[in-house]
Structure formats: C-alpha cells, structure tokens
Structure 1
Amino acid sequence: MNRIRFFVLTAVISAVLVGCSSAPRVLAPVEDRMGAGRTPVNGSTVSEAGKVLPGAENAGKPGYYTVQRGDTLMRIGLDNGQAWRDLARWNNLSNPDVIEVGQVLRVAPPGAAVEASGVVVRPVTVGGETSGKPAPVAPPATAAVADEGLGFIWPSNGSLIGGFDESKNKGLDISGKAGDAVMASADGQVVYAGAGLRGYGNLIILKHNNTFLTAYAHNQKLLVKEDQKVRKGEKIAEMGSTDADRVKLHFEVRRQGKPVDPAKFLPAR
C-alpha cells in the first residue's frame, strides 16, 4: 500500500512540474505611478491595456504634447511656458497628479493659432480691429532678443558664479548668503511656489506674459503664493541651498517655455 501511494504521489508531482514549465506566465497589468506622471511603457497614444488615451486624435499637432515617461504637469508647463493650473483646466484634468504616457495634452491656450514650430501666434490688432493675420508672439531669435518691454532686472545682488549653458546649465547661478533677498525680475504672477520639481529645491515660477517665464530656485524660504501678483524688485524669497551643493540662486528666463540666456535680458553690471 505504501508503495502504491509513493507512485501516485510521484505522478502527481511530475504532472504539476510539467504544467508549470510549459504554461506561459501571465502578468497582471502594471500602472507606473510617478507623482504627476502615471506612465505605461509604450509611449504611444494607446495604453498597455489597449485603451485609447485622452487626446489621441491630437497627437503630433502644433500646440499639443504627448506625455513621456517621468513627466509631471508642472514640468510640461515649464517647458511650454504655461502654468500647470492652466494645463489642468484646458485638458479637463480632474486630478492633475495623474497623467499617462501617451496621453496628449493641450499646451497652448484654446483658440490660439500655433505654428508648426510650436510658436503661439495671435491676431494683429490695428486700431482696435483684428486684421486676421497672425503675428508671432515672440520675436525672431537674435543675439539681443527684445524683452517685450518687461525690463528685467537682476534678481539678486550676489556675484555671478555660473553662466548659461544650453546643455548643462539652463540659467544663471548667483552667489549669496542664506537669507539674502531674491527679487522678482519683472512684474508678473506666481504660477508655482513649492518644491515639486527635482533639482530645483524650493522654487518660484513667475509668468510675465504669454512669452516669458522666470524661475528662481534653491530658496530657503518662499514669501509668495500661487496666483499672487508681484512687482518688479519685490522680495519673493530668501536665498538658500535646497537641492543644491551651496547657497545660491539659480535663475532662469524661459521664452515660449525654452530656456534662453538671462544675460541677454539683464542690464550690464
């Protein structure tokens, strides 16, 4: 009897092992939640589960952006010269902390004409009437780009310790002591105040018009709140070393969301 039981048990174990080795392993779908960028892996407008993602019909069109792995709404806004709150509103995002790879977002104001290059254009107004002919919001790129009358000023009195480099440093680094005043470089509105963008520490982003944003990073203390309007020269933060190797202010000027050399807009010292 014991010998019969042994052979039966052996046969059962063998059948189980054969079944395990031949059957494919099926994994449940995985959602990669990364802060404000929930991201499946394929990067297309269709999720791993085969679901057509929001905005798929606009993929590739000027004024729209297809979400990539690791994106956040704030990063997308900064790179396109828009406030993250505006992006959330234009795209009817009930939860701005949840976006998906392959989802297509509007990054230009509704109704705005956008060139194939991604530059937002607006109608030319003559004598209060609209001519219907679009004109670029931003002037052509030259060595000395007009600041559209904003009259940028230096945001700190410290010494320049790091210049603009398109690939390595997207702004200027200015030295100082912890607590030194950080000032608004031009009149504007606070579109972000917080520490949600990796590498920037305590950060303030000001929107000055439809062309220009400025960013102020590594502060030890923020003195303004989102949606608050500020004046040129107003103290908006205190210099610090958050997410940095020393006390400094990292200052960026973004034109249509693209980093440009702030020194081209600031008065000579």
Structure 2
Amino acid sequence: MNLSRSLVAWACAASASVLMVGCGSTSVNRAPVEDRGTSAGSSTSAPSSSGTSAIDPKTLPGYENMGKPGYYTVKPGDTLIRIGLEYGQSWKDIARWSNLENANVIEVGQVLRVVPPGQTPSTTTTTAATETRPVGASPAASAAKQPASAASTASAAATPVPAPAPVSVPAPSAGGDDLNFMWPASGGLIAGFDEARNKGYDISGKAGDPVMAAADGRVVYAGAGLRGYGNLIILKHNNTFLTAYAHNQTLLVKEDQNVRKGQKIAEMGSTDTDRVKLHFEIRRQGKPVDPSRYLPSR
C-alpha cells in the first residue's frame, strides 16, 4: 500500500515538473505591431497578438481621421519604418505628428498622420503602403535592432559605427526634382528597376566596398528593422525625395546626421540577401521610381 502511494505521488510530481518545464521554455516574441482583431487576415511581418477579440474601432487612436487625406490606417505587419519609407517621411516625424505616447508600439486599426500638419497631401501620399521587399531578398524574419523610439524593429545584425558628422552640412531643402544624383557604388548593374519585382537597382561589388550618398541629405533611418533590406540606410534629400541603401555589412552614419553627396555612408555586404550587392532605391514622395531617370549615364 505504501509503495503504491509512493509511486502515485512520484508520478504526479513528475507530471507537474514536465508541465512547468514546458511552460518555462515557451518564449513570447511579440512584435510592437498589435493585431487587436480589427483587421482580417494574418501578417507575415509581425505576429498577431494572441487571445485578442474584435473591438470597436472607434476606440482606437486617431479613429476620427480614418480615410482622410494625409492619414494612414495601420494594417497587420506594418512598422513605422516601412510606413515612413512608403510615404517619404521619417518615422520619427510620423510618431511626432501622430502624438504617439510610445513610438515602439502601434496598433492595427490605429490612424497615423503621414504628412506634416498644415501641409496639403498630394495624391501619392494618400495611397496605401505596400510590400516593397527587393527582388532576391530573403523571406526570413528581420534581425532585431530597435531604436530608442522606433516601432516594430528587431536587433541589428551589425551595430552601426558612427562616422564623424560633416561640418556645415545644410539640412535637406524643400526643393523638387532639381537634385543631382550620383551613382552610390561603382559596381555593375545586376538587376534593373521593375515596378512589380524590384523597386530599384541592384549593384554588384565586394564585401566592404564603399557605399556613397547619392546626394546631400539627412539620415532618417539606419538599422536592420525592415525585413528584406538587411542593414539599411534611408536618406531624406528634400520634401520630395528619399534614397535607400540596403544589404550593407557596416553602417557608418547614424540617424539625424547630415551627409554630403559622395560621402561614404556604409560598406557593401550581403545582409538579408543571397549575395554581396547594394540594393538602391530612389523614392519620389514615397513611390519607387526608375533610378535611370535621375542617375547620370555611365
């Protein structure tokens, strides 16, 4: 009788231990974008919050501006970085214009302001943000670098190495199409612009080759928080143009730093792609455009 009771007690204790180990080994890695049941479908960029149920969208921040020009409604998988790229803005500006209490968290269904207060939005800034992963990019989850007030980012594969800020560099102008772009790398073109498949140019090179700023501008993003781009730099040149430089092995500038045309801003690499290359984009009011319209002939 005593032996039977001992066996039963041992079995119960063992079962409890297994359950505790199982629970302790489950890690929750929830992205800052939360799906609170206001949008159908699943996200490939960020997991939905578990155990959520449908809520009244009128309770979400910015609901009163939903559908208005100059505003954007957050969808599953969105990040402030991607929204900023799609609308030609700095993610920090969007966070400020939208009065975000915590820029690390945005919610599905939340409405964000994507144009400066008082500015009349153009037709290009009222279109929905779309997936723009460069051709050949890996579908693997992004690395995890999270700026102090960034949204939905993961740690960078390589820590950016700040370069000394240039002296007396002007801030981006409010000009339009009058920029003089240069080629950001010296390698050959391995993939051209294709609106459906490749949002820019892929330029060949060796690991460590210099990546240069295509025009004067300000760094509005430097990190690895945008899936498919690896270690990425985004420069804002004026109120019209952004340029993006992806897959670098080392970043040599930091956010809010002003840079000169031709300044070395990164070293070429193969982060989040299958070979060493620079993926380069020119975006006019957030819309990817063919770089051949702006780069000089070689």
TM-score (ref. length: structure 2):
0.67
**Which residue pairs with 2:260 in the alignment?**
231
* 1:128-167 equivalences in 2 (<5 Å): 148-167=177-196
**Which residue pairs with 1:181 in the alignment?**
210
User: For residue 239 of structure 2, what is the amino acid of its counterpart?
Assistant: N
Question: Is 1:195–2:217 an aligned residue pair?
Answer: no
User: For residue 34 of structure 2, what is the amino acid of its counterpart?
Assistant: R
- RMSD, aligned CA: 2.0
In structure 1, distance between residues paired with 2:281 and 2:32 = 23
* 1:70-81 equivalences in 2 (<5 Å): 70-81=77-88
Does structure 2 conserve the Cα–Cα contact (< 8 Å) formed by 1:155 and 1:184?
yes
Looking at secondary structure, tell me which structure has more strand per residue: 1
**Which residue pairs with 1:260 in the alignment?**
289
Number of matched residues? Answer: 211
**Which residue pairs with 2:275 in the alignment?**
246
Question: Is 1:97–2:104 an aligned residue pair?
Answer: yes
**Which residue pairs with 1:22 in the alignment?**
none
Question: Is 1:48–2:39 an aligned residue pair?
Answer: no
Equivalent position SS for 2:106: coil
**Which residue pairs with 2:18 in the alignment?**
none
Query: What CA deviation, in whole Å up to 9, does each residue of 1:179-237 have, x standing for no partner?
Result: 00000000000000000000000000000001100000000000000000000000000
Q: CA deviation at 1:117?
A: 5.4
In structure 2, distance between residues paired with 1:34 and 1:207 = 30
**Which residue pairs with 2:201 in the alignment?**
172
Q: Which runs of 4+ in 1 moved over 4 A?
A: none
In structure 1, distance between residues paired with 2:123 and 2:195 = 23
In structure 2, distance between residues paired with 1:57 and 1:83 = 23
Does structure 2 conserve the Cα–Cα contact (< 8 Å) formed by 1:216 and 1:251?
yes
**Which residue pairs with 1:82 in the alignment?**
89
Q: CA deviation at 1:59?
A: 0.8
Q: CA deviation at 1:260?
A: 0.7
In structure 2, distance between residues paired with 1:158 and 1:243 = 19
In structure 2, distance between residues paired with 1:240 and 1:117 = 32
Query: What CA deviation, in whole Å up to 9, does each residue of 1:162-188 have, x standing for no partner?
Result: 001111101100000000000000000
Question: Is 1:206–2:212 an aligned residue pair?
Answer: no
Deviates more, 1:74-83 or 1:94-103: 94-103
Cα separation, partners in 2 of 1:249 and 1:79, compared to 1, 3 Å: same
In structure 2, distance between residues paired with 1:86 and 1:154 = 28
Cα separation, partners in 2 of 1:60 and 1:116, compared to 1, 3 Å: farther
Equivalent position SS for 2:220: strand
In structure 1, distance between residues paired with 2:123 and 2:85 = 20
User: For residue 96 of structure 2, what is the amino acid of its counterpart?
Assistant: R
Sequence identity (%): 68
User: For residue 49 of structure 1, what is the amino acid of its counterpart?
Assistant: I
Point out which structure has higher relative CO (alpha carbons under 8 A, 6+ apart): 2
**Which residue pairs with 1:29 in the alignment?**
none
Cα separation, partners in 2 of 1:115 and 1:148, compared to 1, 3 Å: closer
In structure 2, distance between residues paired with 1:63 and 1:168 = 27
Cα separation, partners in 2 of 1:115 and 1:189, compared to 1, 3 Å: closer
Does structure 2 conserve the Cα–Cα contact (< 8 Å) formed by 1:35 and 1:97?
no
Equivalent position SS for 1:113: coil
User: For residue 165 of structure 1, what is the amino acid of its counterpart?
Assistant: D
In structure 2, distance between residues paired with 1:203 and 1:38 = 24
Query: What CA deviation, in whole Å up to 9, does each residue of 1:57-102 have, x standing for no partner?
Result: 1111110001001100111111000000001111111211211111
Cα separation, partners in 2 of 1:36 and 1:171, compared to 1, 3 Å: farther
